Structure formats: C-alpha cells, structure tokens
Structure 1
C-alpha cells in the first residue's frame, strides 16, 4: 500500500477560464463533481481509503495538482473527466490533460487512470495522447475498484479488469478489455454519499437560478435521481459511458433523504438535478415531489431540472412548484420543424409555445435551450429559431452552436464526411476562444458562430425580455443581466473579416 495508506485519489479537473473565458469568474456554476462522488462511494463501501481533490472548486493549477498527488502517493490516481453535463466532458480534457502531465512530472511512477464520457468515446486515442497509464471505457466504479485491488496485489492481472484500456508494453497497441456491467442498484452502489470528502463551502449556483436573490447562490449542491437517457438525439453524447439507452432510477425516498441531509448538514437550499431528463417518468417525479413537500420546508427550496417539451405533464406542474422546483430547462433546439426532425426532435411549434406558457403559468421559470448550425440549418431557419426564442421570452436562454461531440452520432457523421472539427478539445466549448462549431450545407463554421454570438446579445438586450425580467425578479436581476450581456467573447474564428449573418437575415 502507498505511504499514508491512501488507496484512491479522485481528481476533478478545473480550467473554467479556458472553457468560459471571463464568464467563468463569477457567472458560471461551480458544481460538486457527481462522478467523483459516485466512484468514491462505491470504492469506500468496498473498504478502500478514498479522497477527492476538486481542483476546479479549489482553483488549483496543474502544478498544484501534481504536487498534491505527489504528497498523497495513492495506489491509484484517477482523473475524472466527466464534466457537469454530457457535452462538458470533452471540454474538460484540456485541463485534465495538463493536470495529468503535471502529475507524471511530479511523480513519474504514479499509476494514473482517466475516466469520463470523452475517454469512453475515444479510448484508444485518449490512451495514445494523454499522459496516463490507463483509460476507463464505461461508467467507471467497477473498473476503478478492480484496478486498485489489482495494483495492491502481487503481479496484477490487468487483462481481467473490466472496462480497462491499457498496454501490455510501453508504446504498444491499446488493449480494450471486456466491458464492465452497468450497475443496476443505484441506491446500494452509486449513492454518492461522500459529501464529507468535498469542499462544500466552495460550490455556487448559476447566476440565473438566483435572479430573485443573487446572494442565495451559495451554499449549493447538485444531486441526481436517474442515469442515462432513453432518447437518441443526434447531437447528444450522454450515453457514451453507458453504451446503451438504458434509463436507471434511484428510489425517490433516497433522493428526498439526500436533499434533507444537505439542507440540515450544510444549509443547502439551492439545488440542481443533474439528470439529463428528470421530468420523464411521472410516477418517479410525483414520488420525489411528494417527499420533498413532506419535509415541511419546500417553500424555501430552489431546484432546477431538465425536461423535454413532450414529457411535461400539465398535471405535474403545480406539484413541481410546491416541491420547490423554480426552474425547468427545455431543449427546444430549433424554430424549424424540418431542422428539429433532422436532429430527432419531432416537436410541433404550437406544442412548444403551449408547454412553455403552462410552465410559466404554474410559477416555474423556463430556460430555453436553442442550437444553431444543425445539419439542415440555413440562415433563414436559424433566424426562425431566434424569432421563436424572442416570442417565447423565457426567463433565461442558452444559445449553442451545433458541435460534433465525441460519442454523438454527429461526431461519427462529421468524421465520415470529412467535416472540419476543432483542432483542440477546448474548441468544443461553446464559450472558448477557439470554439469551432460544425458547418452546415449552406454556412461556414464562422458564420454559424457569428450568428450564435449575435443572437445572444440580441436576446438579452431585447427590451421586452428585460422588462419581463424586472417585473418577475426585480431591478437587480435586470441590471445583472445587462452587465452579463456586456461581456463580448473573443473568438479566433471571427477575428478575420467575415460578413455578419445575423443582420443580413433579419
């Protein structure tokens, strides 16, 4: 065993400013790392000594991470590059790679594994390009524990470790072992109840979640109630670590107990439900809501979660609001039915408008998520998307450029067709300097990005939106958004002289 007796050190990579530029300083959330928690709980239940190093929350640079690992000398260090949403795994790879190189510089003999959605999607490439000894292909807990146990024994049999990607000899070809089974009992095995291992005072909510009281961004926590997604949108890579569309749920009473623990132990009232699709199974959602109401303080809670337009049941909305849900995020994606169909989002525009209004009428704010540059997009369809966003006038909006994230069907299509992809992993970030979205059949990547950035500023400078915001949340929220929208992202792709598309198609 390593000096000090530490079996496993799980590392959450940082690099917020690389991903978000200046927006990462104050506006973005800092979330507890879900998969660090889940792997840590699984390992600790099996008798391993575990620590989590959240370099994002602690604002540690690569050299500091390297020194911290050298001081602890665990049997195994694991870089957990999952990110806080499926598309964020690839974005974290820049910081994760830098930290891995720093670890190997500080302690060359340290066994190091990298796990996450991106490594699962590109295991052989990750092993070839990153300064790691092993890659995990899959969700991680089983592979990590088996590897620690093997490294602690005499002459480890690496070929027997499920989900491991490794080399038999330095510089040799990658060996991909058989897959680890998906964990069936989430409550017994993936409970993630290791909050004592995290710097809880460091986490904060997104700015928009607390428009009514910006001081309430801390304390903050994110929890999950399900894993996976039964849908298969072409732009999404959520199922890369799971290699299936299987949808697994936690027992509602365990979810409620976790909220109660975090509220009583750490004073948390502001929560994110990290599920890619929370409002899906009506019985599951209803049981969680009824349990939260039963705690007796749901009116003090501020929760947000993801939903689909076609799974929001009007009968649930009042219950969600009484349970403390103040925000729902909807994947609207496009204002063009043809473009939505091409992305496997078959929604009618009338349904989108009706569902948004029902949610708002229930007292729940809406985040509309929109994508520009899907394969069938044109300047006209992108303008239709922005017009729809302005018509809906949601309390907040996220504007994305279509990205071919590793693990998505769009990525496979881009590689098959030879479409240009970002030169570095940070280029997959929506807010990075080197952001490079997909081109469409009629528009270059630069034109798509220019439209996206212009759409952001047009939406958040719209007097109708700002007036609604002031009426709903107060003058402070309006002033905050006006200051937020004053930030202009620098874009490498837009520094050459390119004719603006937004105004031309208005």
Structure 2
C-alpha cells in the first residue's frame, strides 16, 4: 500500500486564459517535489503526480488515487511565483472534490501558502479532511505516523487543522520553522526524478535569445522566505515570520549538476523571492556555476536596493541572463505606504542601466492600484516604465493576497475582495483587483490591461527587441498582443484616458463575455 500520493493540481487554462497556449510557462512544482523527496528520505512510499505537467484532469487524478489506495493524499497549493498560491485553490478544490467523490474513505491534506493564511476557512469550505498551517514537512510526516481516525493522535501532529468526532474545528500549534542548519536534512531538494521533466517549458521572454527552444527547463529554490515586509506580499505566510534561510551553495550547485547532467536542463529559474541578497550565499553559487561553464540561461529576482555593481560580473559569469526587479511604483508616496524600498527614480534608472551594461536583461515589475494610487500616479508609473528601456515588463494590478498585510487591511476597512479564488489571478477572466483609496477596482484593472498593451505595442520597444534578439522576437510580440484578455470586472472605458503617439486607450476595448 502506498503511504502517500502528492498531487500538484492544475487550472492553467483558467488562470492564464489564452496566454496558456504558447506564452505562459509550464514549471515543475517545486513545493510538491520538495515534500515528495522529504517524505521519501523519511522512508515513506510516495507517488508524485503533476497534473499540470502531465495534462491530466481532476477525475483522472482521482482515479490514480483510487488505484494507489494511499494512506494519505496531499495537495500542495503553490504557484509559479510565491504570491500565486491563492489562484491555484481553484484547481486544488476541484481535485479534492473529485478524490472525495471517488474515494471518500481516503483522507486528503491541503497544504501551501494560501492554506497557511486561511487555515480555518479552508477547512470549513473545502472537502479536505485536514489542512496544514506552516511549511508542512513535520505536519505531513506526523500524519503519516499517526492513526488519522483518532483525535488524540491528531492532537499530537504539529500545524494541523481538523474536525474532531463532534464536528468541531481543532488545531495544534504551528510546527517550528526548520532551522537553517537542518535544511539539507529536512528538505533535501526537489524530487525531479519523479516529475515529467521533458514536459516543462520556460517563459517566452526568458528565451527571447533563442525562441526556438524553451524546453530543458527547471526551477529551483536556493533560499526560503524574505526579510522584508512589503504589505502587498504574502510570501512568508507558510513560515509565520519574515525570515531568510538558505541551503549551502555546494548543496544547491550539486542539485543543478544533476539537473544538467541527468535532465538536460539549460533554462533555469531561481524561484527565490530574493536571490540577490546575501553575498556569501548567491555569490558562492555564482562562482561554482561559473567554474562549471554550463552555459545556462538563468533568471532570478533582485531588489533595487540589494543589487550592487560588484555583483554583476559574477551573476553574468554564472549564466544569469535575466534579473527581475521589483520596482512596483515610481511614486514615493505609493511605495512608502506599502513599505517598499527607500530608493529614488534616479537610483532605479542607474541600476537598470548598469545591469543591462553587464549583459544582463532586466524585467521590471510594476503594480497599478496600490492603496495610494490615483490616475495621475498610475499614468506617471506607466510613463516611467516605458522610459526605462526595459527588456520586459510585468505589469500587475494590486491584489490583496491572503497572508499579506494588504489583505488584512482590506478586510478591516471593508474593501471588496474577489468572490472566487480565480479572482486573485492576474490573468483570469474573474480577476478582481483591490480598489484604491481613490479609484474602484474596475478602473484599476482596465488601466492595467491598457497599460500592458501600450508597453508591448510601443514601436520603440519592438525596435529594441528586434535589434537585440532578432526579428523572430518582434513577430512573437506582435502576435502576443493580438490576444486581449477577456475580463468580467474591467471597466470598458477609463474615467481618465491616456494616449501615446502609437496607442490611444480610448480606442482599446477589453472584451467582456459575461
């Protein structure tokens, strides 16, 4: 009898709509893979099923569970980025229900960032038998070693929420955070060998320099958590504290060795919330990778105020060809309100130019609709974004993700939140961002979508991309911008329009298929 089946659920088409066909990435599920390998190291018999990678639906996943007859099913709810956990509740919920319909006697545990943020609500709303608050390793192993039919046993499992024999909600104290010195023993890596590694593909922009091959792709954590306290971020929900822990550089590079040698990986995403942070950590990884000369195509995250001139040569030598920078807003007032970095627009410009000067492409992240945003600040933000001559821009609507201070404040102040978990997806039909103190959410979403089109159809941007990466990338961008996301909750027109010589937002309509 199998001890554990871990299922990574899928809702790729609903989350990304038409962008799921050829534009969005397919990534190996890191947390599902880490939990799988952790439990195998503890001696349990584990089956890992990536529904997204294998392109199988909820009923198929349930049939696999029925065939295995495991002691426990675990459904991790994480996304391609740390803040993308909530949107994956859609697929997790349907997967859980399908399993309980077919195998009502097999217990199901939900685990993940969203679950840790809303454990009681999840237990009450979903058909899962258990939910985990915390990182999950100790909760998972504790369940597997217990009699899950006995309340007295369940009360000894850390980080567990469940209903007792009377139907009352019970929970235990959250498991202690894994100490950094124990990371390699407790979380010994990702179970890549159990995943369909030939099925994954990199983000389209990650491979602008070589658009023909987005395969040979993997993602990896070199660290967990983040020491910063940006109010819009929910990255630390599973950990319960703003902590930064990391595996040793030798441990990480050994894992990358195996990805390259065994799975043919060439495109690599370092999924850490903040890779460029601790010099003794990431610079040593860079040094070890440079010695191997794998010719990897890597992208990773940094902040404007953590990247230094002395870092750039080492990053490039390691194969880091893209850095994602969390700029968010050019408005100091807007940034200060969400506790996001104390840096000037001059500093941002200098950092972007220096990174690009080192041969590293820059992907800038911007958020429209933070609490202190109005139309003027959002327009200023877009103008600045377009002036930076970025290689790619992620333009987001502000979202009050569960586990963030923004979510807690929204509940306290009575701001309207999405009416479904898919509503927290930036690209879904149901997307419903947060209203600001001055603009309602439908206007924020409409502005964001029009801003995205304005940036990506800018002739100056297209000319730069073609000069840098070739005509194929320019054609790819023109084809991508032909697709316009249908939206349920976006205003068809803006109260305050904006225009550029190549783009008039008043002429751009967001399709609504209510």
Normalised TM-score (structure 2): 0.95
Q: Which runs of 5 or more structure 2 residues have no equivalent in the other structure? A: 507-514
8 Å CA contact 2:148, 2:154 repeated in 1: no
Cross-structure match for 1:413: 409
Residue 46, structure 1, aligned to residue 27, structure 2: no
Question: What is the aligned counterpart of 1:211 among 208, 212, 227?
Answer: 208
Q: Secondary structure at the match of 1:209?
A: helix
Take 1:70 and 1:27, find their aligned partners in 2: how far apart are those partners? Answer: 34
Q: CA deviation at 1:496?
A: 5.9
8 Å CA contact 1:225, 1:273 repeated in 2: yes
Cross-structure match for 2:188: 191
Take 1:82 and 1:193, find their aligned partners in 2: how far apart are those partners? Answer: 14
8 Å CA contact 1:373, 1:401 repeated in 2: yes
8 Å CA contact 2:445, 2:491 repeated in 1: no
Take 2:66 and 2:211, find their aligned partners in 1: how far apart are those partners? Answer: 39
Cross-structure match for 2:326: 331
Take 1:47 and 1:212, find their aligned partners in 2: how far apart are those partners? Answer: 43
Deviation track 1:108-153 (CA, whole Å, cap 9, x = no partner) reads: 1111000000010000000000110000000111100110111489
Cross-structure match for 1:316: 311
Q: Secondary structure at the match of 2:52?
A: coil
8 Å CA contact 2:31, 2:190 repeated in 1: no
Deviation track 1:155-214 (CA, whole Å, cap 9, x = no partner) reads: 8700000000001126x2321201111112222221224221111111110000000112
8 Å CA contact 2:4, 2:70 repeated in 1: yes
Cross-structure match for 1:230: 227
- The 1:102/1:24 distance shift into structure 2, 3 A limit, reads same
- The 1:147/1:501 distance shift into structure 2, 3 A limit, reads farther
8 Å CA contact 2:267, 2:296 repeated in 1: yes
Take 1:392 and 1:112, find their aligned partners in 2: how far apart are those partners? Answer: 48
Residue 90, structure 1, aligned to residue 90, structure 2: no
Q: CA deviation at 1:65?
A: 1.2
Cross-structure match for 2:511: none
- The 1:249/1:350 distance shift into structure 2, 3 A limit, reads same
Cross-structure match for 1:294: 291
8 Å CA contact 1:40, 1:192 repeated in 2: no
Residue 429, structure 1, aligned to residue 418, structure 2: no
Cross-structure match for 1:55: 51
Take 2:505 and 2:29, find their aligned partners in 1: how far apart are those partners? Answer: 41
Cross-structure match for 1:354: 350
Residue 164, structure 1, aligned to residue 179, structure 2: no
Please list, as runs of the form range in 1=range in 2, the aligned pairs for 1:48-447 lying within 5 A after superposition.
48-151=44-147, 157-169=153-165, 172-184=167-179, 185-297=182-294, 300-345=295-340, 346-447=342-443
Q: CA deviation at 1:222?
A: 0.5
8 Å CA contact 2:447, 2:494 repeated in 1: no
Take 2:434 and 2:151, find their aligned partners in 1: how far apart are those partners? Answer: 47
- The 1:319/1:438 distance shift into structure 2, 3 A limit, reads same
Q: CA deviation at 1:104?
A: 0.4
Q: CA deviation at 1:498?
A: 5.7
Take 2:293 and 2:110, find their aligned partners in 1: how far apart are those partners? Answer: 42
Q: Secondary structure at the match of 2:485?
A: coil
Take 2:135 and 2:485, find their aligned partners in 1: how far apart are those partners? Answer: 34
Q: Secondary structure at the match of 1:306?
A: strand
Take 2:388 and 2:102, find their aligned partners in 1: how far apart are those partners? Answer: 53
Take 1:109 and 1:284, find their aligned partners in 2: how far apart are those partners? Answer: 46
Take 2:107 and 2:382, find their aligned partners in 1: how far apart are those partners? Answer: 49
Count of matched residue positions in the alignment of Structure 1 and Structure 2: 499
8 Å CA contact 1:166, 1:174 repeated in 2: yes
8 Å CA contact 1:138, 1:163 repeated in 2: yes
Take 2:480 and 2:212, find their aligned partners in 1: how far apart are those partners? Answer: 16
8 Å CA contact 2:151, 2:165 repeated in 1: no
Q: Secondary structure at the match of 2:201?
A: coil
Q: CA deviation at 1:502?
A: 3.7
Q: CA deviation at 1:501?
A: 3.8
Q: Secondary structure at the match of 2:412?
A: helix
Q: CA deviation at 1:254?
A: 1.1
Take 1:82 and 1:438, find their aligned partners in 2: how far apart are those partners? Answer: 21
Q: CA deviation at 1:469?
A: 0.4
Take 1:178 and 1:493, find their aligned partners in 2: how far apart are those partners? Answer: 39
Take 1:222 and 1:365, find their aligned partners in 2: how far apart are those partners? Answer: 19
Take 2:266 and 2:147, find their aligned partners in 1: how far apart are those partners? Answer: 41
Q: CA deviation at 1:497?
A: 6.1
Q: CA deviation at 1:340?
A: 1.1
Q: Secondary structure at the match of 1:132?
A: coil
Q: CA deviation at 1:67?
A: 1.1
Take 1:226 and 1:268, find their aligned partners in 2: how far apart are those partners? Answer: 20
Q: Secondary structure at the match of 2:305?
A: helix
